[in-house]
Structure 1
Amino acid sequence: MRRRLIDLSVPVLDGPSEATPVEVSLLDHAAAPAALGLRPEDFPEGEAISNETVTLTTHTGTHMDAPLHYGLVSGGRPADAIDQVPLEWCFAPGVRIDVRHVPPGVGITAADLEDALAKESYELRPGDIPLIWTGADRLWGTEAYRTDHPGMTRESTAWLVERGARVIGIDAWGFDRPFASMLGDYRASGDNGVLWPAHLYGRERAYCQLEKLARLDELPAAHGFAVACFPVRLAGLGAAWSRVVAIVEEPDAA
């Protein structure tokens, strides 16, 4: 068998698809000797080792949200920070759930998930990592990426978590519907239950979500692969960046 790795992450960079800036301060090879109290001639080719200082949010790029992001309490106990997420949750079989028919701004229902899994003749198993395939990653690099996608609902999130999902991913800017869609509904109805309902379900039962996935179309099938999504160990925080990778086992070429 041959192992193939598929990168399901977007790059971390400053651009129109991010709502907050990414600032990079570079200490390049030529300037580094002076920063170390040395001279260029103290190094081969006159160059020392470089360094970068990056300022960004924990929700920039592909990242994992921990229960602490949703609230201080999850399932009746203090919510886990990102460094407390069990490693076993972060390496498990994956299943791609195709909901590309759901329009931007619309909530993804439990029926949408059930129908997609039925078409693949697949029954979700405890520990599986569902990957919600909206197709929104095609807009990466544009401002529309932040606004033109559907989102999970409390109902659909609960449906997955109650069947044993502990990590759920989506190939969109956010896990819930776009902010403008939620805000419009809230202003029209006054019902605060329309504000981040999928996120806030995590106050009831602990789960993690992966946002800003990409290239789910490159998976060879809806299941039969593993997902590795270990978050950076940022102590006590609600989210961290993750290099999400699909691991596909394929027969050796004849």
Structure 2
Amino acid sequence: MQRLVNHPTIEVYPFSTHEEKRVADGYEFSSATMVLHMGDHGGTHVDAPVHFDDRPGARTIEEMPLETFFTEAVCLDLTHNPDRTDITIADLEAAERKAGVTIQPKDTVLLYTGFYKRAAGTEGYITDFPGLTKDSATWLGRKGITAFTVESVSPGRPGRNNFEVHHVCRDLGFTHYEGVVNLDKVVGRGRFRFIAFPLRIRAGTGSPVRAVAWFP
């Protein structure tokens, strides 16, 4: 997953391999291990409130209740939204009607734009995505959701929009996941369970997750 240039690099490389043999009391064996080097906002990840909230008491990732990451969910089809444009309240309302679902309190709302398939591996992946605005993020937050997801590196378009969307999450008490892809597998399939537990990083401002959709 590509990253913002102001975030740590994401590196995975061997630390030991099976080519290194060890012998103990005449018994030979080998083991392989890897080194992981990344920030707590690397790849597919969730933001903890302390990432966008500088007020005393803002929760770090290990302080967030586990039920935050195991919720009912819906996926909205926003693939008609062009790149480099805002996702408006009208867009969200139309997508909800098209999905034949109703966003409910505590839901996680997955936003499927198709942007990852169009732009992954290009420079434009970092800048050209469609994104929420202060108003459309507020529309989601006032429904009492737990979180929403985006395929891109941030929930709002680069610049002021993105900061405003983060502050809506702060003020209305919900969060978001970035870099959640493969949503073509779940769009149009109604309600399901969304599972994306974080690592228990001490004082973490976020965490990589493995996002899973569970259909009964």
TM-score by length of 1: 0.75
Task: Name 2:49's counterpart in structure 1.
Answer: 67
Task: Name 1:162's counterpart in structure 2.
Answer: 142
Task: Give the 3 Å change call, closer, same or farther, for CA 29–163 of structure 1 in structure 2.
Answer: same
2:3 is the alignment partner of 1:18: yes
2:203 is the alignment partner of 1:248: no
Task: Name 1:37's counterpart in structure 2.
Answer: none
1:206: Cα distance to partner? Answer: 1.7
Task: Give the 3 Å change call, closer, same or farther, for CA 158–43 of structure 1 in structure 2.
Answer: farther
Task: Give the 3 Å change call, closer, same or farther, for CA 25–220 of structure 1 in structure 2.
Answer: closer
Distance 1:112 1:160 in 2: 12
Q: Which has the larger radius of gyration?
A: 1
Between the aligned residues of both structures, percent identity stands at: 28
Distance 1:195 1:89 in 2: 22
Task: Name 2:129's counterpart in structure 1.
Answer: 149
Question: Does the Cα contact within 8 Å between 1:97 and 1:222 map onto a contact in 2?
Answer: no
Task: Name 2:115's counterpart in structure 1.
Answer: 136
Find runs of 4+ consecutive structure 1 residues off by over 6 angstroms. none
Task: Name 2:15's counterpart in structure 1.
Answer: 27
Deviations 1:29-69 (A, max 9, x none): 35766xxxxxx222888443222222211111100001111
Distance 1:44 1:150 in 2: 61
SS state at 1:123 partner? coil
TM-score by length of 2: 0.88
Question: Does the Cα contact within 8 Å between 1:134 and 1:172 map onto a contact in 2?
Answer: no
Question: Does the Cα contact within 8 Å between 2:129 and 2:152 map onto a contact in 1?
Answer: yes
Task: Name 1:88's counterpart in structure 2.
Answer: 67
SS state at 1:64 partner? strand
2:164 is the alignment partner of 1:197: yes
Residues 227-246 of structure 1 aligned to structure 2 (within 5 Å): 227-246=194-213
Question: Does the Cα contact within 8 Å between 1:104 and 1:149 map onto a contact in 2?
Answer: yes
Using the TM superposition, name which of 141-150 and 19-28 deviates more.
Answer: 19-28
Task: Give the 3 Å change call, closer, same or farther, for CA 213–101 of structure 1 in structure 2.
Answer: same
Deviations 1:83-123 (A, max 9, x none): 12221121111111111222222221122111111122322
Task: Give the 3 Å change call, closer, same or farther, for CA 159–222 of structure 1 in structure 2.
Answer: farther
Pick 1 or 2: higher relative contact order, CA cutoff 8 A, min separation 6.
Answer: 1
* Unaligned segments of structure 2, at least 5 residues: none
Distance 1:25 1:96 in 2: 35
Residues 212-223 of structure 1 aligned to structure 2 (within 5 Å): 212-219=179-186, 221-223=188-190
Question: Does the Cα contact within 8 Å between 2:50 and 2:59 map onto a contact in 1?
Answer: yes
Question: Does the Cα contact within 8 Å between 2:126 and 2:153 map onto a contact in 1?
Answer: yes
Task: Name 2:153's counterpart in structure 1.
Answer: 173
SS state at 2:171 partner? coil
* Unaligned segments of structure 1, at least 5 residues: 1-9, 11-16, 34-39, 183-192, 250-254
Distance 1:200 1:82 in 2: 17
Distance 2:16 2:214 in 1: 35
SS state at 1:203 partner? helix
Task: Give the 3 Å change call, closer, same or farther, for CA 174–195 of structure 1 in structure 2.
Answer: closer
Question: Does the Cα contact within 8 Å between 1:25 and 1:53 map onto a contact in 2?
Answer: yes
The number of residues matched between the two structures is 212
